[in-house]
Each structure stands twice: as structure tokens, then as C-alpha cells.
């Protein structure tokens, strides 16, 4: 064969190869090879632990499943049974009320605290750290704290009211149908205020102060600055934080289950509790149908959240086809009434606000002229008095909120160091006298396995965190920094996976894990915990990667690095704070997880702390001292972790919050 012919064949082969590579690049995206390698572990875990159980859950909802073996198909009978059940309709209405009032007050109080902290010149960091504590403590600790405060006999609130003479006997705050739901809303507000505060505080810091200075020069009042500068500047943060909080609150299970169990007289039976009751009665098909019936509502919020984040973070990359996609158009149609209602409410608000402002300006102007007049010393004194009054009022409001957030922790602390006699006899109610170690001695005594529970929790949390962070670091890079077809869809699925209700996932996972003999084992928990840890950490890492200028990576690629080298040498060092934050969040999520451990474990020696502490309660018998001591010891590692890496955690909460 001549050299000319051989050269021609090689040229043809090279051209053909380049042609196929070009076709694949056009079909799958420019960086599809590297992207698939980075994202494959995420796809494997999310597919096996989330997508498959989710599809299986949908299938179970169409079957008459009453055991670990999937039953025969019954079509839509389960859904017909669910929607015909007045208990379900009642649970949906309770869930909506619980969610609406909780989110509304969390937003209002969170915004108020954020503004007050933003204006502080000293101690802002310390107060921010104190206010954030309720958000990071395990739900079982929060439940013990609030059960202790609201108990009708031993509760701190009733004892305060009794000793001050405000009431004659204790009131069952969680045991009365008239106040149980309101009490749960209060507890949810307590735990959710920090999330709004931190994100809104980050948004306030991103607003240029020159806007306020220009508005003040033009004669704008503080209220008008708030309406026309602060709120528009926080628009993106408010939307994202509110949508996230709405989804989380709607999915609430742990706190309701631990505080009231859905009672009394079903007054707090949200849909997740109703689904869990059906699971306990071995009506698995109905239980899943209850959870899936709520999925469309959640998907609307999730899709709105995903589209808003995508539009704000990648506004220049949204194509015309994406804007005109069928899903986008359908969502736009579904959300149109909501948008119109919100616009109408805003218009009505400004009409009323302008009228009220004119009235106050007229009255205030008249009073100012009457009592101050045109005297310059009087005017200076009035302004100084106004500033002092405003500062004092703001400080008082901040102190009240701070006490509201910290009193449950104080109650746990003092109860843990009381003797049983002091608790039962109501001696030294608000301060141990003397301080005793009796509860800790009992907790670590031969009748408890608290040390073993602690050990189990540490092992499971560390292993699941390691898996989640490593896989999320690679997956988040592939989804955010590389161009390949399907990245937007998969990125949205990460958010959907994170925000789907756990109550919908644990039934198929319980069947799968039972078949694999992974129930009643710590290994099973290590495998299961990435169900909620991996999506959240991946989403967190995606926010960090998106904030890094692409020019840095492009420069490395021009210098001869491939994507793996650019990731290892350029991107990874830049996101070390993000990895720290992701690790802290992942281990916190694993440390406080309740529902999977509650379902999968039945042996005392395998309990994690959350389940062990819940099992310490026998019927109506509450060992308050031991529970408080256990809650205190369970909170210490989280508190230390938070104190050491506070800036990473705050950065994690606010990652991407000021974009758009």
C-alpha cells in the first residue's frame, strides 16, 4: 500500500473521528465527557436512593399494599379513598393554616430582626450567632425544650404565670384543641426566624448605602426608604427564603410528631402525620397516596423556586427555547392568578399606605409646630430625643426577640442541673439551688445506653457526611461549570429531590432496605442518610460554584489544563470554605435526623441519639431531668461546631442569597 493511500486513509479516519466527536458535542454538549464523569456518582446515588424509591412510591400508591410485599394494582382506588375521607381534607386544611401563619410571622419577625441587627455597630456578630442557634439544634432537643416550657404541671411558662399570680392553675398549651395548633405555630416560628434573619441580613448588606443617602437628601422618610429601597433590594432574597420556608413548613413531621403526635382530638394532624398513621396501620398504599396527593402543591412551589434561582443566577444563559418551553408556559398559566392577586394586594397596600402617610404627616407637622416651633435649640433637642427614643425602642424589640429565641435553651440548662426532688416539688424553679449532677449520673448509669447512642450517632453522621460532601463536590461542579445537555434538568431535579417530603420516601425505602437486610443496622442509616444530605449539599455547592468567575477556569484551560486539572488546581482551593460549610451542614442534618432512624431501627443498642431520647418517654411519663441532660449533651457538639465554623455556616446559609 502506497504512502499516499495510507495517508489518505488516516486522514479519512481522523476526519471521521472528528466528525463523530462533533456530532456528539452537538448532541450532548461541549463538555459532556468530563461532565458525565463528574456527575456519575451523584446520578448513581440519587438514582438509587431517591429516583427509584420515588417511582416505586408512585407505583405503590396504585396498589393495595398492606405488607412488605407490594400488593395488587387497584387503580385510583387509594386516591378516591383519600379524597373522600374527611380526615384527609381536615389534615390538608390544618397543614395550610399551619404553613401560612408560620411563614408569615417568620418573615415579619425575621425581617425586623435583620434590620435591627444591620443597624447595630457593635455586638452584631454575637447576637447573630445567638439568634441562629434554634435553627441548628436537633428537632428532638427543640421538642424537649418546648415540651418542658409548655407542660401544664412542670412547664416553665405555667410556673411563671402561677408564681406571678396571673393564673390560678396551669394551662395545657399543647393538650388543648384550642391552643395546640397555635403553640405548634409558635414553635415553628421560633425555629424558623434564624433562617429568614441570616438571609435577609445578607441581602441588606448588599444594598448600596448611596441609595439611602440620595433618598434622604430628597426628603424621603425612613418608612419610604424601607418601601422603595429596602424591599425592592431584598426582592430576590425574600422570594427564595419564603418559598424554601413554605416547602419546609408544609413538609413538617418531626416537630409535630414529637410535640403533639397530631393531637389532641386531631387538632394538629397535618398531612404528614395522617400518612404516618396509615403507615402504622400497614395501609402502605393509602399512606403513599396521602403524601403524593400533596406533591402537586409542592411541585408548583419547587418549580417556581428553581426557575427564579435559575433566572437570577444565569439570566444571560436562558435561551428563547427555554423561555417558550411547554413547562414554563404551563407554570406561567398556573401561577398567573397568584401573580395577579399579589399585584392587587400590593396596589391596595400602597393606596392605603399613602393615605395613612398623609394623615400622619399632617398630624405630626401640626404637633411639631405646636411643641417645637421654629426655635433651633428646640428642633435639635427634638431630633436628639427622637433618635434616642428610636434607638431605645429598637433595642427593646431586639432584646424581646433574643429572649424568645434563647429562653428554651436556658430552660434545658437549668433543668439538667436540678435534682429530681427540685423538679417534682417545684423548688428553685428558675435557678437550681443547689446545682446537682444527679441527672447526668442516671443518664450514664447501667439502665441507659446513652454512651452507645452517642457513639452510633457520631459514626453514622461522619460516614454519611463524607459520602455526601465528596459526591456533591464533584456533582455540583459538573452541573454548574460544565456545558452539557440535561444539566439544567438534572440541577432542578436536585432541588426537587431535596424538597420532596420524607414521608413519601420512607415507605418504599423501608421495603427496599428490608429486602436488602439493611434495617436494624447502622450501615442502613449510612446508606439512607444521603437521601436528604446529598441533594442539599449538592445544591449548596452549586451556589458556590456559580459565584466563581468563569474567566479563572478558562485561563487554566487555555494554559493546557483539562477540566479535571482545573477542578483540582483552580476551583477546589477556591471552594474550600464551601466544602467546610457543606460538611458542617451535612453532619448537622445527619446528627438531627429522626424519621429514617425511627422507622429503620428497633433495637435499643442501635439507636441514635434522636431515637434513644424519644424512647426515654414512656406514655405520659416524662423524665424531665434526664431528657434535659441528654438534650444538653446532644447540643454541645453542634454548638462547638457552629462556634468554630460560624462564618462558614453563615456563608452557607447566604450562598447565592444576594444574586439577582
φ and ψ of 123, to 5 deg: 70, 10
Q: State the average pLDDT over residues 560-580.
A: 81
Q: State the average pLDDT over residues 166-174.
A: 84
Residue bearing cell 435649640 = 377
pLDDT bucket at 3, cuts 50 / 70 / 90: low
Q: State the average pLDDT over residues 281-302.
A: 85
Q: State the average pLDDT over residues 247-259.
A: 90
Q: State the average pLDDT over residues 47-53.
A: 84
Return d(Cα 253, Cα 501) in angstroms, integer: 9
pLDDT bucket at 656, cuts 50 / 70 / 90: very low
pLDDT at 4 exceeding the cut of 70: no
Element (H, E) at 438: helix 438-443
| Nearest C-alpha neighbor of 76 from the set 293, 230, 228, 281 | 293
pLDDT at 381 exceeding the cut of 80: no
Does 548 or 453 have the greater pLDDT score? 453
Does 29 or 163 have the greater pLDDT score? 163
331-359 tens-digit pLDDT: 566 566 666 776 777 678 667 767 766 77
pLDDT bucket at 508, cuts 50 / 70 / 90: confident
pLDDT at 40 exceeding the cut of 60: yes
pLDDT bucket at 308, cuts 50 / 70 / 90: low
Mean pLDDT across the chain = 80
- What pLDDT does 87 receive? 93
- What pLDDT does 91 receive? 94
* 108 CB-near residues (< 8 Å, 6+ apart): none
Q: State the average pLDDT over residues 560-566.
A: 79
pLDDT at 47 exceeding the cut of 70: yes
pLDDT bucket at 586, cuts 50 / 70 / 90: confident
pLDDT bucket at 565, cuts 50 / 70 / 90: confident
- What pLDDT does 80 receive? 92
φ and ψ of 618, to 5 deg: -115, 105
- C-alpha dihedral, 459 to 249 to 409 to 407, nearest 10°: 180
Q: State the average pLDDT over residues 456-472.
A: 91
pLDDT at 154 exceeding the cut of 90: no
Query: In 10 A of CB 81, how many CB atoms?
Result: 16
* 619 CB-near residues (< 8 Å, 6+ apart): none
- What pLDDT does 323 receive? 45
- What pLDDT does 386 receive? 59
**Residues β-bridged to residue 63:** 73
Q: State the average pLDDT over residues 618-643.
A: 82
Residue 31's SS3 state is coil
Of 79-93, 96-110, 130-144, the range with the lowest mean pLDDT is 130-144
Q: Do the beta carbons of residue 645 and residue 580 sit within 8 Å?
A: yes
Q: C-alpha distances in angstroms, 186 versus 105, 150, 173, 622?
A: 9, 11, 11, 22
Residue bearing cell 375521607 = 85
Q: State the average pLDDT over residues 30-53.
A: 83
pLDDT at 283 exceeding the cut of 70: yes
* 83 CB-near residues (< 8 Å, 6+ apart): 89, 293
pLDDT at 211 exceeding the cut of 80: yes
pTM: 0.84
- What pLDDT does 315 receive? 44
Q: State the average pLDDT over residues 616-627.
A: 79
Does 52 or 557 have the greater pLDDT score? 52
φ and ψ of 621, to 5 deg: -85, 115
pLDDT at 11 exceeding the cut of 80: no
Work out whether the CA dihedral 425, 429, 433, 437 comes out positive or negative. Answer: positive
Would residue 67 be called left, alpha or beta, if left means φ above 0 and alpha means ψ between -120 and 50 degrees? beta
Q: State the average pLDDT over residues 215-240.
A: 82
Amino acid at each position: 500500500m502506497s504512502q499516499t493511500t495510507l495517508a489518505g486513509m488516516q486522514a479519512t479516519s481522523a476526519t471521521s473521528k472528528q466528525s463523530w466527536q462533533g456530532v456528539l458535542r452537538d448532541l450532548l454538549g461541549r463538555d459532556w465527557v468530563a461532565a458525565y464523569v463528574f456527575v456519575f456518582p451523584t446520578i448513581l446515588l440519587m438514582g438509587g436512593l431517591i429516583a427509584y424509591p420515588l417511582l416505586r412510591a408512585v407505583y405503590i400508591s396504585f396498589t393495595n399494599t398492606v405488607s412488605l410485599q407490594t400488593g395488587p394494582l387497584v387503580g385510583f382506588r387509594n386516591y378516591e379513598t383519600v379524597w373522600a375521607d374527611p380526615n384527609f381534607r381536615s389534615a390538608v386544611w390544618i397543614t395550610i393554616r399551619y404553613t401560612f401563619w408560620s411563614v408569615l410571622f417568620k418573615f415579619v419577625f425575621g425581617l425586623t430582626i435583620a434590620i435591627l441587627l444591620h443597624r447595630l455597630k457593635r455586638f452584631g456578630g454575637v447576637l447573630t450567632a445567638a439568634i441562629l442557634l434554634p435553627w441548628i439544634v436537633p428537632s428532638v432537643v427543640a421538642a424537649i425544650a418546648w415540651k418542658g416550657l409548655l407542660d401544664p404541671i412542670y412547664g416553665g411558662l405555667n410556673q411563671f404565670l402561677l408564681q406571678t399570680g396571673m393564673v390560678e392553675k396551669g394551662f395545657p398549651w399543647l393538650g388543648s384543641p384550642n391552643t395546640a395548633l397555635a403553640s405548634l405555630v409558635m414553635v415553628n416560628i421560633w425555629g424558623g426566624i434564624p433562617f429568614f434573619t441570616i438571609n435577609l441580613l445578607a441581602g441588606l448588606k448588599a444594598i448600596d448605602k448611596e441609595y439611602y443617602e440620595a433618598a434622604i437628601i430628597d426628603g424621603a422618610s425612613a418608612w419610604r426608604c424601607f418601601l422603595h429601597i429596602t424591599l425592592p433590594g431584598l426582592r430576590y432574597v425574600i422570594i427564595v427564603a419564603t418559598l424554601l420556608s413554605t416547602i419546609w413548613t408544609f413538609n413538617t413531621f418531626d416537630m409535630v410528631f414529637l410535640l403533639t403526635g397530631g393531637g389532641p382530638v386531631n387538632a394538629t394532624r397535618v398531612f404528614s402525620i395522617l400518612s404516618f398513621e396509615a403507615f402504622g396501620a400497614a395501609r402502605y398504599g393509602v399512606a403513599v397516596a396521602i403524601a403524593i396527593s400533596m406533591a402537586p402543591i409542592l411541585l408548583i412551589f419547587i418549580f417556581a423556586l428553581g426557575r427564579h434561582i435559575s433566572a437570577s443566577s444565569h439570566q444571560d444563559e436562558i435561551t428563547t427555547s427555554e423561555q417558550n418551553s411547554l413547562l414554563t408556559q404551563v407554570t406561567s398559566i398556573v401561577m398567573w392568578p397568584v401573580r395577579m392577586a399579589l399585584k392587587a394586594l400590593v396596589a391596595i397596600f400602597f393606596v392605603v399606605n399613602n393615605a395613612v402617610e398623609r394623615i400622619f404627616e399632617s398630624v405630626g407637622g401640626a404637633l411639631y409646630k405646636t411643641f417645637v416651633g421654629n426655635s433651633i435649640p428646640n428642633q435639635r433637642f427634638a431630633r436628639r430625643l427622637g433618635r434616642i427614643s428610636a434607638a431605645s425602642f429598637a433595642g427593646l424589640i431586639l432584646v424581646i426577640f433574643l429572649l424568645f429565641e434563647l429562653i428554651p435553651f436556658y430552660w434545658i440548662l437549668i433543668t439538667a442541673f436540678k435534682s429530681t426532688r427540685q423538679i417534682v416539688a417545684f423548688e428553685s424553679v428558675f435557678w437550681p439551688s443547689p446545682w446537682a449532677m444527679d441527672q447526668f449520673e442516671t443518664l450514664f448509669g447501667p439502665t441507659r445506653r446513652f454512651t452507645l447512642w452517642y457513639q452510633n450517632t457520631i459514626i453514622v453522621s461522619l460516614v454519611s457526611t463524607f459520602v455526601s460532601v465528596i459526591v456533591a463536590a464533584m456533582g455540583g461542579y459538573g452541573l454548574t461549570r460544565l456545558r452539557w445537555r440535561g444539566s439544567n434538568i438534572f440541577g432542578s431535579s436536585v432541588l426537587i429531590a431535596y424538597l420532596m417530603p420524607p414521608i413519601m420516601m420512607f415507605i418504599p425505602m423501608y421495603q427496599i432496605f428490608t429486602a436488602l437486610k439493611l434495617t436494624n443496622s447502622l450501615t442502613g442509616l449510612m446508606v439512607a442518610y444521603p437521601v436528604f444530605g446529598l441533594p442539599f449539599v449538592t445544591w449548596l455547592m452549586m451556589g458556590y460554584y456559580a459565584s466563581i468567575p468563569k474567566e479563572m477556569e478558562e485561563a487554566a484551560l487555555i494554559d493546557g489544563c483539562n477540566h479535571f486539572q482545573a477542578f483540582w488546581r483552580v476551583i477546589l482551593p477556591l471552594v474550600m470554605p464551601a466544602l467546610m460549610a457543606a460538611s458542617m451542614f451535612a453532619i448537622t442534618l445527619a446528627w438531627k435526623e429522626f424519621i429514617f432512624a425511627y422507622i429503620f431501627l428497633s433495637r435499643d443498642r442501635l439507636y441514635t441519639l434522636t431515637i434513644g431520647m424519644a424512647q426515654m418517654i414512656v406514655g405520659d411519663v416524662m423524665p424531665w431531668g434526664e431528657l434535659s441532660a441528654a438534650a444538653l449533651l446532644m447540643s454541645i457538639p453542634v454548638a462547638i461546631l457552629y462556634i468554630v465554623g460560624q462564618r462558614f455556616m453563615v456563608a452557607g446559609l447566604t450562598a447565592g442569597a444576594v444574586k439577582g
